[in-house]
Amino acid sequence: MSPLTIESAHARVDVCAELGAGLLSYALQDGTQVLRQSPTTPHVPFDLACNIMLPWCNRVSDGGFHIDGQFHTLGQTLPDQPLPLHGNALTLPWTVTKQDDASIELALISRGPGPYHYEAHVRYALDGAALIVDLGVWHWGETPLPYGLGLHPWFELDADTRAQFTAEAVVLTDSDRLPTESVDLVDAPDWSFEDGAQLPTDGIDNAFTGWSGTARLNWPSRGLMLDITTNPQQPCCHLFAPGEGADHFCFEPVSHAPNAHNWSGASPHRLTTLAQGDGLESRTVLMPYQSG
C-alpha cells in the first residue's frame, strides 16, 4: 500500500486510501510520533494509526437493529469480531478527490452494510503541527436510517501516560462489551479523568457520555502532550486500553453511545436519523505540544 503524504514545516501525515482512508502515521518533523506508528505493510484496519468509524461507532447487539417493525441485519464488519463493529468504512478503499502539499480529501460510496447506502468524505489538513480532520456522511437510501461517526486513533502507552477530560457519566458493560448501565461520575469518582489520571492497569474499554468535547493526553517521559477538540462538540468519547503489558491505547471522539441502535440507555446520546440527502459532519483537531 502506497502512503499518500501531506506535510507542513512542523508535521507529516501518511494516509492509506486503500484501507479505510486511515492514517499510517502522524509525526512531528523531528521524528516524534504523535500516533502509534503503523507497520510498513498493514493487513487489517487495526494495524493503522487511526481509523474512521461510520456509519456507526462501536458494537451493535443482536447482529442488527429494528426500524418500524423491520429487522435489519448488519452482519460482521470485521472478521475477528462476532458483533458488527465500527461500521464498514474502515475496511473499504477510498478515492482521493483532491490533494495539495498540506491537505488531502478522500471519498467513499457504500451500499451496505445492511440497509445503509451512503456517501462519505474526509479531509485531513495540517496547520502547523495541528492535524484537522473533517469527516462527513450523507444518506442516499430512501428510508431514513440512524447514523453515527467518529475517529479511532491509536496512541503509544507508557507507564506515565495520563488522560484528562470532563464527562458526565461512564457506560458500564457486560462480558460481550455491550452497555448495561450508565453511571453518573459524581457517584463513581474512581472513573473520573477530570483532574487527569493514568489509565487503569487492568484495562479499560468504556464510553463516557456528556463529554465536554476536549481532552488532553500527556506523555511526560516523552515530553509530549496532545490536545483533542471537536466541533461541533462530540457528545461521547471512548477510552480503550487492553490492560497489563499493553503498549497502546485509544481515545476515540464519537457521536453516540455504544449500541445506540438497540440500547435504551443510550438516550440522549443516540445516533442521528438521516433522511435521504441529509448529512452528519464533525471536525476533530489534534494539537501536539512538546514540553520539557
Which pLDDT tens digit goes with each residue over 225-237? 999 999 988 999 9
Percent of the chain with pLDDT over 90: 93
- For 51-77, what is the mean pLDDT? 95
Quote the pLDDT of residue 244.
84
DSSP, residue by residue, 33-55: BSSPPPPSS--SGGGSSEEEEBS
* CATH at 42: 2.70.98.10
Q: How far apart are CA 34 and CA 203, in angstroms?
A: 22
Contact 155, 36 (CB under 8 A): yes
Count of domains in the chain? Answer: 1
Residue-wise pLDDT tens digits, 268-279? 899 999 999 999
Q: pLDDT-derived band of residue 291, with 50, 70 and 90 as boundaries?
A: confident
Quote the pLDDT of residue 2.
84
Quote the pLDDT of residue 111.
97
Contact 26, 49 (CB under 8 A): yes
Burial 26-47 (b: 16+ CB within 10 A, else e): bbbeeeebbbbebeeebeebbb
| Set of cell numbers at residue 199 | 489509565
* pTM of the predicted model over 0.95: yes
Residue-wise pLDDT tens digits, 118-166? 999 999 999 999 999 999 999 999 999 999 999 999 999 999 999 999 9
| Set of cell numbers at residue 168 | 458526565
Q: pLDDT-derived band of residue 267, with 50, 70 and 90 as boundaries?
A: confident
In which domain, by residue range, is 41 found? Answer: 4-290
Q: Residue 292 above 80 pLDDT? A: no
Give the CA dihedral 33, 28, 123, 272, nearest 10 degrees. 50
Q: How far apart are CA 152 and CA 133, in angstroms?
A: 12
Instruction: Give CA angle at 195 (194, 200), nearest 5°.
Output: 80
| Set of cell numbers at residue 196 | 487527569
